[in-house]
């Protein structure tokens, strides 16, 4: 049961071979057994979850099921969900019960999916290892001494350990793709504006995007069919027709032009990862694709640019956590100013404070032109690189992350080492493009992801490209030992 695709689960539910309550209980039992080690979930509410499962069973009985009705889905703890504690990995929101639903939570509810629980994450989605969560680190099911990646590491570990069939994530600079790579999953960051950010706790609003994490590309397509779509409550949501993300699955790849950026196969890339990526590309050649060498000359600037722009936006977004409106408030203080200072000093962790300080600095009078404005200009050049590249190829492929899952503590002492984890993912967010990671093999017994970057709104095409590899290989179905 645990390794079945969403489509297979839906078929079992439709045929009444299993009920949603039974299926949900099976995953809840796995969570009870595995979560004490993995720490992928921060909040569970069995009663609420099972009530949804019962409602789904009634809907199925009435013949009114949608494709995901009755299927349990885990939600990253960044999406407001009415009545659920929504912590965003922070002490600041430790006791915050969301009074409304994020758009995508609402869409999953409408589809009849079952909300299985809330997954752990780096605090305010800042991190690449899930070590910054106030609720403790998440362990990688492939090796519990190693990180699952971040910031959607709880969702990634939950799917990898088959504690849920699929989960949601968010990706500001790589937070869906990098943990998907490190945990052996498929994950998609859609084109900016495709999934509504309404009810998603804001980190860097011009980069944040919600997306699905699951075993296969086909499962991602079914998740996208629920998550994507216009929402007037998010001013950056794009008014586009609803589309079927599974519509291209099974199409031939003959003649597909795959661009390999020279800069992605250079210094900094682990040789084992490079080998896995090359093998996957060889597989695509067999499927009829052609390889084109391309260049993304400004890629090397993407990390410095991101670490000016993302903290700038974060410093402004996180100003709302002031101890007045909602969230944590320091228990003792002398006056209003002291209350602000103590609340923020106690409520935020070290990485979040680092970002707020950098962000405030780069936006301050006298430094704005030198840092923020300069970074915005380079952001445009980075986006322009992709426009140029897509004149010569249909999709871009390369590694998702420079290495495999690393040990706890290995990169915490030096933030810059941690930031380099997103060397191949951040430019995609800066340009607003869709990016996906799919499992492509192993290096030293640890999963390795292949990144597929598409042009704007090419998600359906990318999902088919991922699906095609998954028809030839079984990397996406491998299970970590002990799971």
Chain residues in the site for ligand GLN (CB under 6 A): 125-128, 151, 171-175, 203, 310, 422
Instruction: Compare residues 57 and 171 and give the one whose CB is closer to ligand GLN.
Output: 171
Any idea which residues carry the catalytic annotation?
Answer: 76, 151, 175
Provide, rounded to whole angstroms, the least separation between the CB of residue 365 and ligand GLN. 25
Q: Rounded distance, CA 279 to CA 472, Å?
A: 12
Beta-sheet pairing, 72-76 with 114-119: parallel
Q: What sign has the CA pseudo-torsion 115, 118, 121, 126?
A: positive
Instruction: Compare residues 12 and 420 and give the one whose CB is closer to ligand GLN.
Output: 420
Instruction: Compare residues 9 and 358 and give the one whose CB is closer to ligand GLN.
Output: 358
Q: Rounded distance, CA 322 to CA 60, Å?
A: 45
Measured in whole angstroms, the distance separating CA 39 from the mean position of its chain's CA atoms is 17
Q: Rounded distance, CA 243 to CA 230, Å?
A: 11
Provide, rounded to whole angstroms, the least separation between the CB of residue 207 and ligand GLN. 8
Q: SS3 breakdown of the chain: % helix, strand, coil, rounded to 5?
A: 45, 15, 45
Instruction: Compare residues 126 and 280 and give the one whose CB is closer to ligand GLN.
Output: 126
Provide, rounded to whole angstroms, the least separation between the CB of residue 204 and ligand GLN. 8
Provide, rounded to whole angstroms, the least separation between the CB of residue 435 and ligand GLN. 11
Q: Rounded distance, CA 87 to CA 95, Å?
A: 7
Q: What angle do CA 214, 218, 219 make, to 5 degrees?
A: 35
Provide, rounded to whole angstroms, the least separation between the CB of residue 251 and ligand GLN. 30
Q: What is the 3-state secondary structure (H, E, C) of 309-337?
A: HHHHHHHHHHHHCCCCCCCCCCCCCCCHH
Reduced to 3 states, what is the DSSP secondary structure of residue 449? strand
Nearest alpha carbon to residue 146 among 159, 128, 163: 128
């Amino acid at each position: 049961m645990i390794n079945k695709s969403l489509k297979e689960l839906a078929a079992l539910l439709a045929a009444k071979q299993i009920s949603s309550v039974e299926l949900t209980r099976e995953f809840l039992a796995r969570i009870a057994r595995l979560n004490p080690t993995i720490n992928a979930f921060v909040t569970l509410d069995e009663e609420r979850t099972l009530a949804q499962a019962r409602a789904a069973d009634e809907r199925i009985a009435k013949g009114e099921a949608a494709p995901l009705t009755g299927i349990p889905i885990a939600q990253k703890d960044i999406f407001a969900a009415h009545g659920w504690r929504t912590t965003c990995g922070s002490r600041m929101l430790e006791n915050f019960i969301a009074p409304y639903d994020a758009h995508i939570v609402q869409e999953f509810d409408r589809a009849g999916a079952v909300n299985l629980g809330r997954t752990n994450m780096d605090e305010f989605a800042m991190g690449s290892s899930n070590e910054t969560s106030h609720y403790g680190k998440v362990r990688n099911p492939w090796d519990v001494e190693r990180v699952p990646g971040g910031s959607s590491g709880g969702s990634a570990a939950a799917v990898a350990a088959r504690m849920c069939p699929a989960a949601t994530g968010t990706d500001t600079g790589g937070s869906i793709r990098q943990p998907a790579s490190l945990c052996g999953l498929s994950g998609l960051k859609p084109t900016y504006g495709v999934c509504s950010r309404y009810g998603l706790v804001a980190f860097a609003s011009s980069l944040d995007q919600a997306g699905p994490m699951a075993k296969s590309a086909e499962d991602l397509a079914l998740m996208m069919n629920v998550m994507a779509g216009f929402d007037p409550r998010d001013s950056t949501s794009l008014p586009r027709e609803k589309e079927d993300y599974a519509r291209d699955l099974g199409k031939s790849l003959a003649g597909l032009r795959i661009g390999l950026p020279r800069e992605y196969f250079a210094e900094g890339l682990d040789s084992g990862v490079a080998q896995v990526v090359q093998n996957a590309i060889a597989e695509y050649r067999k499927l009829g694709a052609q390889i084109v060498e391309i260049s993304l000359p400004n890629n090397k600037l993407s990390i410095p640019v991101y670490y000016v722009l993302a903290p700038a936006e974060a410093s402004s977004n996180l100003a709302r956590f002031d101890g007045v409106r909602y969230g944590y408030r320091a228990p003792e203080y002398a006056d209003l100013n002291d209350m602000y200072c103590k609340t923020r000093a106690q409520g935020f962790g070290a990485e979040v404070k680092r970002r707020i300080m950098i962000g405030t600095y780069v936006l301050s009078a006298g430094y704005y032109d030198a840092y923020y404005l300069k970074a915005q200009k380079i952001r445009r050049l980075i986006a322009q690189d992709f426009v140029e590249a897509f004149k010569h190829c249909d999709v871009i492929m390369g590694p998702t992350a420079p290495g495999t899952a690393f040990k706890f503590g290995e990169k915490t002492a030096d933030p810059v080492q941690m930031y380099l984890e997103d060397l191949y993912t951040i430019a995609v967010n800066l340009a607003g493009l869709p990016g996906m990671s799919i499992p492509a093999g192993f290096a030293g017994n640890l999963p390795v992801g292949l990144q597929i970057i598409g042009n704007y709104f090419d998600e359906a095409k990318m999902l088919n490209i991922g699906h095609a590899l998954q028809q030839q290989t079984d990397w996406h179905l491998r299970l970590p030992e002990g799971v």
